[in-house]
């Protein structure tokens, strides 16, 4: 997050373990979720008359609560990052639901993606162009 806040825009190593020698698809899913959350945070929070809600703050007053206020209900989802992979339940609820840790949830998500994803075919000629690039690179490296 700090690198992103400093302006870094290159993300490297998603899903990699063992110095990049091994890919962990569950970790790739988790890393992708973290990047999604960071990108959402970098979008910022809009600051305008509606989001500042000064009138509501005056109405609720000192010592009041905002959680049950209609304005909060209408706006909180837009500025809260939700995740299907991070379990924010209490420990008791989590245990009663099977106590799946994030590693397990991410591995299950990776398997679902692999089972359901139907990639679009490459446009005509692209596969051959890639093979040509690989052939040239092999010649360059092997002499």
In a domain, 102, yes or no: yes
In a domain, 58, yes or no: no
In a domain, 73, yes or no: no
Give yes or no for a contact between 14 and 31, defined as CB atoms under 8 angstroms apart: yes
Domain count for the chain, please give it.
Answer: 1
Distance CA 119, CA 8 (A): 30
Alpha carbon of 102 to those of 28, 49, 115: distances in Å?
12, 39, 20
pLDDT at 143 over 80: no
In a domain, 115, yes or no: yes
Domain that holds residue 121: 2-44+84-142
Distance CA 128, CA 95 (A): 52
In a domain, 66, yes or no: no
Q: How do residues 22-73 score in pLDDT, each as one tens digit?
A: 999 999 999 999 999 999 889 888 899 988 999 999 999 999 999 999 999 8
């Amino acid at each position: 997050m700090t690198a992103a806040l400093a302006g870094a825009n290159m993300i490297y190593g998603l899903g990699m373990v063992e110095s990049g020698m091994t890919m962990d698809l569950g970790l790739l899913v988790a890393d992708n979720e973290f990047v999604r959350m960071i990108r959402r945070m970098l979008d910022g929070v809009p600051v305008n008359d509606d989001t500042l809600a000064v009138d509501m703050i005056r109405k609720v007053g000192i010592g009041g609560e905002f959680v049950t206020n209609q304005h909060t209900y209408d706006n909180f989802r837009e500025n809260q990052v939700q995740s299907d992979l991070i379990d924010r339940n209490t420990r008791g609820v989590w245990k009663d639901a099977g106590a799946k840790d994030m590693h397990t949830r991410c591995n299950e998500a990776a398997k679902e993606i692999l089972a359901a994803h139907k990639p679009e075919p490459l446009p005509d000629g692209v596969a051959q162009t890639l093979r040509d690039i690989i052939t040239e690179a092999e010649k360059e490296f092997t002499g």
